[in-house]
Structure 1
Amino acid sequence: MQSNKLRMAIRATAAVAVFGMAGQASAVSFDAGGWNTSIYGYASLKASYDIDENAASSTRSFNYNAINVGAAENNEPTGYFGADAFQSRIGVKTTSPEGVTFNVEGDFRGGGGGSLRLRHAYGSYNGVLAGQTWSNFTSFVGNTSTLDFDSLPGLAGYQSRTAQLRYTTGPFSFSAEQPQNSLAGGVKKDGMPALTARIEDSSGGMSYSAAVLAQQVGYDTGTTDDSTMGFATFVAGKLAVTDMITIQGTLSYTDGASSYLYRSGTASAYVDGSGDVEAISGYGGSIGAGFNIGNGRSINIGYGMVEVDLDDAVADSGGAITAGDTESVSAVMANYKWTPVKNVMMGVEYQYGMREVQNGDDGDASRLLFAAQYNF
């Protein structure tokens, strides 16, 4: 019985991450003609105060690339406040009498904030899914719960949605997806889908996931062309130490697939002086802990980082990648969340982020984030 409770708690925590942060979203459900339909979503307010830098993006998430480095860090005005409700979302999910599921969901982060953005649009039947949803090269198992919508660097996989065809059987899933890559010094050509395989399961108080991805990165001008294969992998896990404490973490490695190294922000490969495509490698990870302190209150702490190797790219890319490009980012956070009544969450989070560019210049920034979310 205890093992089942721990397993359910871990799966519920993963569901929280899927819905964005706070508490698990409820839904308005009804049945009509055998169709089981749910309308769900939430209204969300985010407010941030950036102590050192103006480092907020849409939904007030931490924009690490906005952290000034070197001498510029000493000339930045301080104290920036902002608020928006762009994270708010609405979705419809329905299942036919034959067991076919349809899901369409959007939020208001599109176009920099305020316009509708498509998040999910897919159908699934008998283990076969087609449409846009979370990349199969993603897992929320090892994520620490944050108020920041974009969360920590170094989480497992792509951490976003993409068009795909996926097959799932038990804990295993396989997909062919729209590739997510970029090529410095050339116009990329997508010649094949990204191919992924993932396992995700739980046993007792442990939940785990691992995945691999392969994709092609290349270009073709009509007169010259070249390509290379990119690869990525991750592992993630969560351990329920007690009914009140969890420890979770992730590890990732990529080579020619930097878009799948979460929040690295660099190209997957570059074109060198000879016209050859050269892959960029990188690694990342995160670790955190969650504490349920009762009465709808919780405390979460976490650390995440990513680092890419740009030395050869700076030397050989002909200026497409420079010594001022970001080579590593890292962050620590701590938050307090409170659910005073069902479907309502409020919280505050402290964040400290660091950025270093290829030439060794670095900078840091501190900020506070407030969130209020009302689920339906």
Structure 2
Amino acid sequence: MQSNKLRMAIRATAAAAIFGVAGQAGAVSFDAGGWNTSVYGYARLNAVYDIDEDVGSTTQSGNFSMINTGAAENNEATGYFDADAVQSRIGVKTTSPEGVTFNIEGDFRNGTLRLRHGYGSYNGVLAGQTWSNYNSFVGNTATLDFDSLPGTAGYQGRTAQLRYTTGALSISAEDPQSSLYGDAAVQAAKKDGMPTFTIRLEDKAGGMSYSAAALAHQVGYDTGTNDESAFGFGAFVAAKMQITDMIDIHGALNYSDGANSYLWRSGDNYFGSDAYIGANGDVETIAGYAGSIGTGINLGGGRSINIGYGMTTMDWDDAEDDGLAVGGETETNSAIMANYKWTPVKNVMMGVEYQYLKTEQVNGDDGDANRLMFAAQYNF
């Protein structure tokens, strides 16, 4: 009897569903010994029909590196269907009577359970793995594609860090993400000599939410005889404006110089090279630019339409001038996504999305892909 009552109580406390890949799903919560605990997650199906080229990766997200370019576009695989449920996730979040918060969360994107979040926080001090402080969801378009649009704000991933937050301001020292262009020998010599340092301001005023952040990190190499490095920098701004009760517009702008590892969906698919080794052995940084813009339209009755465009581009001119053969490297990735999402009942979301992806190389070769995606998500 008590077991049935407990199950009924837990079900009665189920929170509302969250739409979009960034947010925490609705949770089932309970108190025990002064500890407030939530168990949350969702089960999700992603299915995709690649109209003119097979470019789906895990979670059926569109993968820019799988788009054929140049003459290879004539060898496209057409009419390709695939589906998986590996985006499904589960997490536990608990707060002690003293106000210490713990969060452990995982999903199955790699085919096995992988850690998404694992951290503790108290009085504004957070230690562990969670979203990078050089990140914001304020200007993001709600897409069904798990990897979303190029050019969204900052590093759209999670990393180990030590962070302090006071009010709208937060600073962090994080596990560095860096990438040095070159062959296997260069990759073997690449080193990270210091943490990545970030600072972010995120707040809202009236109908506008906004975020701005900056980072500095080191990218370098050590062969045993040569030890060289350079500093890379990045910055972004993001905002969302509520135009009416139904419509909002949102977007982000990014700049990096030696920090393309934090420029979302640059390079082959996720992160571009930060720097290369010049003829004199110095580390030369590579600049990058990115942006995204979108709108969300609330149709009422649990229905919405979301439309977004995003792009990233990297400046390889200096590398070319220095004699590097970078003609086949990715210069620009861009995407348009439009979806219709429907909540037929609380904690259930279904949606369809059209995606157009395009990639361009330094030598001028390009390629594109059209896709249709369906998703069904059941939150708890």
The TM tier, using the shorter chain, reads over 0.9
Return the letter of the residue paired with 2:278.
Answer: D
* TM-score relative to the length of structure 1: 0.92
CA distance in 2, matches of 1:34, 1:256: 48
1:273 maps to which residue? 279
**In the alignment, is residue 250 of structure 1 matched against residue 249 of structure 2?**
no
Q: Shift in Å at residue 242 of structure 1?
A: 1.0
**In the alignment, is residue 136 of structure 1 matched against residue 133 of structure 2?**
yes
CA distance in 2, matches of 1:223, 1:364: 44
Q: Shift in Å at residue 317 of structure 1?
A: 6.5
Contact 1:270–1:317 (CA under 8 A) maintained in structure 2: no
Q: In the TM superposition, what whole-angstrom CA distance separates every residue of 1:279-332 from its partner, at most 9, and x where no partner exists?
A: 01010000000000011100000000000011222453755xx21111001011
2:51 maps to which residue? 51
The CA RMSD measured in Å over matched residues stands at: 1.2
Helix, strand or coil for the counterpart of 1:73? helix
**In the alignment, is residue 371 of structure 1 matched against residue 368 of structure 2?**
no
1:231 maps to which residue? 233
Contact 2:207–2:241 (CA under 8 A) maintained in structure 1: yes
What is the percentage of aligned positions where both structures have the same residue?
72
CA distance in 2, matches of 1:189, 1:60: 33
Contact 2:180–2:276 (CA under 8 A) maintained in structure 1: yes
Structure 1 256/157 Cα, relative in aligned 2: closer, same or farther at 3 Å?
Answer: same
* TM-score relative to the length of structure 2: 0.91
Contact 2:215–2:235 (CA under 8 A) maintained in structure 1: yes
In structure 1, the gaps of 5 or more residues are 1-14
CA distance in 2, matches of 1:181, 1:233: 16
CA distance in 2, matches of 1:314, 1:36: 57
303, 311, 314: which one aligns with 1:305:
311
Structure 1 48/70 Cα, relative in aligned 2: closer, same or farther at 3 Å?
Answer: same
What does residue range 115-194 of structure 1 map to in structure 2 within 5 Å?
115-185=112-182, 186=186, 187-194=189-196
Helix, strand or coil for the counterpart of 1:158? coil
2:328 maps to which residue? 324
1:94 maps to which residue? 94
Q: In the TM superposition, what whole-angstrom CA distance separates every residue of 1:255-301 from its partner, at most 9, and x where no partner exists?
A: 00001110002211111222111101010000000000011100000
Greater mean alpha carbon deviation, residues 175-184 or residues 265-274: 265-274
CA distance in 2, matches of 1:134, 1:362: 33
Question: When the two structures are aligned, how many residues end up with a matched partner?
Answer: 354
Helix, strand or coil for the counterpart of 1:202? strand
Contact 1:273–1:318 (CA under 8 A) maintained in structure 2: no
180, 189, 201: which one aligns with 2:203:
201
2:222 maps to which residue? 220
CA distance in 2, matches of 1:77, 1:25: 36
Return the letter of the residue paired with 2:221.
Answer: Y
281, 291, 295: which one aligns with 1:289:
295
Q: Shift in Å at residue 76 of structure 1?
A: 1.4
CA distance in 1, matches of 2:307, 2:34: 44
In structure 2, the gaps of 5 or more residues are 1-17
CA distance in 2, matches of 1:188, 1:251: 29
Structure 1 75/119 Cα, relative in aligned 2: closer, same or farther at 3 Å?
Answer: same
